[in-house]
Amino acid sequence: MSLRGFIFCCLIAISIAQDETNNKFFPEDFLFGAATASYQVEGAWDEDGKGENIWDRFTHSYPELIANNDTGDVACDSYHKYKEDVAMLKELGVDFYRFSLSWSRILPTGFVNKVNLPGVTYYKNLIKELKDNGIEPLITMYHWDLPQPLQDLGGWTSEVVVEAFAEYARLNFELFGDNVKYWLTFNEPKQTCLLGYGQGMFAPGIASPGIGEYICTHHVIEAHARAWHIYDQEFRTTQNGQVSITIDTSWFEPATDSEEDAAAAERSLQFTYGWYANAIYNSDYPEIMKTRIAERSLAEGFNQSRLPAFTDEEISYISGTFDFMGVNIYTSFIAEAMDEVPIGEPNYNYDLGVKSYQLDDWESCAASWLKVTPWGMRKILNWLKKTYNNPKIIITENGIADDGSTLEDDQRVRYYRDYLSNVRSAMEDGVNVIGYTAWSLMDNFEWLGGYTQKFGLFQVDFDNINRTRTPKSSVAYYKKVVETHCLVDTCEA
Ligand code: GBH
């Protein structure tokens, strides 16, 4: 092909891509942010009085479960480098930074009897550095790192932890609330409960399929509601902030236009997002979960449902415990109806009873579970609007992994552009999205993936004792979007 022909083709290709991108401005007050979580970035796992948590214990006890036997012992060393982190946020120009508090750094025993002052100082310094640079903190209180002493008492299968969380939440509001407008109680509780207490793949590594995850969830929902009410009664009038929870979900696309597949897709959404969200944004667990789990439990020989029941009083106490809706969205699945699994061992997947999969021709990335499906973003946002009565939504995570081989992360640039384009289109559909958060500010400890899956806008050199941070190409793109509120070269009002 001639050079002219080549350039012509490129221009066509670019204009097609740009055509598909929504070219409306995001509203002026739309909030853009970037996120991390304590265990994934802080390091300093046993420094300055921090207690042991379940991810410290899990990575140290079962190194073979984590890629390259990696741990979060040092991670990005953000405990010492938070000023560099804030400088990176400043470079991006974001409105807010979503980070999480390490419960064990503040309360080494998990209980409020011993407050670890250096831990408190660390977060106060971080918050001050953010505010001094015009960046709002959005704080997650629990991003999976439960204090080990609380796990020793049963962790999220125990009522004790509900009470301990409520007191930890009150302390956080007292300590930091004057400077914090946005709070999340829990990040992705489904991963805590399903992977941590059902399947046993994540810390604390308890495999109690079909039982543990439901008990865990029941307590997490109660703990969330306790924290929201504490804020509402004791802090709202003076601190004026907003409290919610963030739940992750994928979009589930029916395999065909049959009624059975449509029902399978809806059931998947109810069993993933609805499991946590229905009690909070509507009321009680989703009917479909109550019915299916009760039926299978009785057939299996249990005397009652494996899904615990809320009392009427609890249902009304939990309902409405949100000031906005938090949601993490990365990918999509196809949902297909299937024959019932014969009654036998209890299992969440049998309770759900859906065959779900991703298609081979969906674009892949360095994280095998994450296929690039930007169109799913628009669909799931519309589903959330419809199902939960049009709440105010903050997308608290969205992003993609690379393998670290290049700083020219063109795939991430396209991912952000195409997902944000679908966010903007969903807003035109009437979905009330008020904020968006890129996961992640920088490469970090990606749980079982260790340091092999890199979600960062900034690269972190984990071989260098300085944990040097370097911008990838996506930094320039996201910075432009944050600055102009526009995804393409020129936008329309
Ligand atoms: C989020 O989880 C987390 O909140 C965040 O901490 C994380 O870094 C980020 O996304 C990127 O993953 O081990 O192959 O069985 C997103 C949902 C749920 C996706 C657990 C990966 C385990 C896949 N994640 N899942 S695997």
What are the beta bridge partners of residue 357?
334
Confidence of residue 5 (pLDDT cuts 50, 70, 90): very low
Ramachandran angles phi, psi of 327, nearest 5°: -150, 135
Torsion of CA 272, 273, 276, 281, to 10 degrees: -160
Q: What is the 3-state secondary structure (H, E, C) of the chain?
A: CCHHHHHHHHHHHHHHHHHHCCCECCCCCCEEEEECCHHHHCCCCCCCCCCCEHHHHHHHHCHHHCHHHCCCCCCCCHHHHHHHHHHHHHHHCCCEEEEECCHHHHCCCCCCCCCCHHHHHHHHHHHHHHHHCCCEEEEEEECCCCEHHHHHCCHHHCHHHHHHHHHHHHHHHHHHHHHCCEEEEEECHHHHHHHHHHHCCCCCCCCCCCCHHHHHHHHHHHHHHHHHHHHHHHHHHHHCCEEEEEEECCEEEECCCCHHHHHHHHHHHHHHHHHHHHHHHCCCCCHHHHHHHHHHHHHHCCCCCCCCCCCHHHHHHHCCCCCCEEEECCCEEEEEECCCCCCCCCCHHHHHCEEEECCCCCECCCCCCCCECHHHHHHHHHHHHHHCCCCCEEEEECCCCECCCCCCCHHHHHHHHHHHHHHHHHHHCCCCEEEEEEECCECCCCHHHCCCCECCCEEECCCCCCCCEEECHHHHHHHHHHHHCCCCCCCEC
Give the residue, out of 247, 447, 448, 451, with the most ligand 1 atoms within 8 A of its beta carbon, to mutate for a pocket test: 447
Residue recorded with tokens 């081989």: 405
- Using alpha carbons, select from 375, 364, 374 the residue that is nearest to residue 402: 364
Residues 204/151, Cβ–Cβ less than 8 Å: yes
CA terminus-to-terminus distance, the chain = 39
* Token code pair at residue 407: 């700083």
452 Cβ closer than 6 Å to some ligand 1 atom: no
Query: How far apart are the CA of 397 and the centre of ligand 1, in A?
Result: 11
Give the residue, out of 397, 451, 453, 454, with the most ligand 1 atoms within 8 A of its beta carbon, to mutate for a pocket test: 397
Query: How far apart are the CA of 117 and the centre of ligand 1, in A?
Result: 31
pLDDT tens column, 277-320: 999 999 999 999 999 999 999 999 999 999 999 999 999 999 99
Asked if the model's pLDDT at residue 1 lies above 80, the reply is no
The one-letter amino acid code at 319 reads S
* Token code pair at residue 86: 């804030």
Q: Which distant-in-sequence residues (6+ apart) come within 8 Å of 337 by Cβ?
A: 255, 258, 260, 261, 263, 264, 354, 355
Residue recorded with tokens 């970090």: 444
Residue recorded with tokens 């199902």: 387
pLDDT tens column, 147-177: 999 999 999 999 999 999 999 999 999 999 9
Q: What is the residue with the minimal CA distance to atom 12 of ligand 1?
A: 446
Active-site annotation, residues:
188, 397
Residues 386/366, Cβ–Cβ less than 8 Å: no
CB atoms within 10 A of CB 491: 16
Residues 443/459, Cβ–Cβ less than 8 Å: yes
The one-letter amino acid code at 480 reads K
pLDDT tens column, 221-275: 999 999 999 999 999 999 999 999 999 999 999 999 999 999 999 999 999 999 9
pLDDT tens column, 106-144: 999 999 999 999 999 999 999 999 999 999 999 999 999
Task: Give the per-residue pLDDT at 493.
Answer: 84
Average pLDDT of 336-355?
98
Ramachandran angles phi, psi of 26, nearest 5°: -75, 150
Q: What is the residue with the minimal CA distance to atom 14 of ligand 1?
A: 369
Q: What is the residue with the minimal CA distance to atom 15 of ligand 1?
A: 369
* Token code pair at residue 218: 């029941």
Task: Give the per-residue pLDDT at 19.
Answer: 56
* Token code pair at residue 255: 């395999």
Asked if the model's pLDDT at residue 4 lies above 80, the reply is no
pLDDT tens column, 324-341: 999 999 999 999 999 999
Q: DSSP states of 86-99 as a string?
A: HHHHHHHT-SEEEE
Task: Give the per-residue pLDDT at 13.
Answer: 45
Q: What is the residue with the minimal CA distance to atom 22 of ligand 1?
A: 369
Q: DSSP states of 99-166 as a string?
A: EE--HHHH-TTSSTTS--HHHHHHHHHHHHHHHHTT-EEEEEEESS--BHHHHHTTGGGSHHHHHHHH
Query: How far apart are the CA of 368 and the centre of ligand 1, in A?
Result: 10
446 Cβ closer than 6 Å to some ligand 1 atom: yes
Q: What is the residue with the minimal CA distance to atom 19 of ligand 1?
A: 369
Query: How far apart are the CA of 404 and the centre of ligand 1, in A?
Result: 18
Q: Which distant-in-sequence residues (6+ apart) come within 8 Å of 373 by Cβ?
A: 251, 331, 332, 362
Average pLDDT of 74-91?
99
Give the residue, out of 36, 188, 332, with the most ligand 1 atoms within 8 A of its beta carbon, to mutate for a pocket test: 188
pTM higher than 0.85: yes
pLDDT tens column, 34-73: 999 999 999 999 999 999 999 999 999 999 999 999 999 9
369 Cβ closer than 6 Å to some ligand 1 atom: yes
37 Cβ closer than 6 Å to some ligand 1 atom: yes
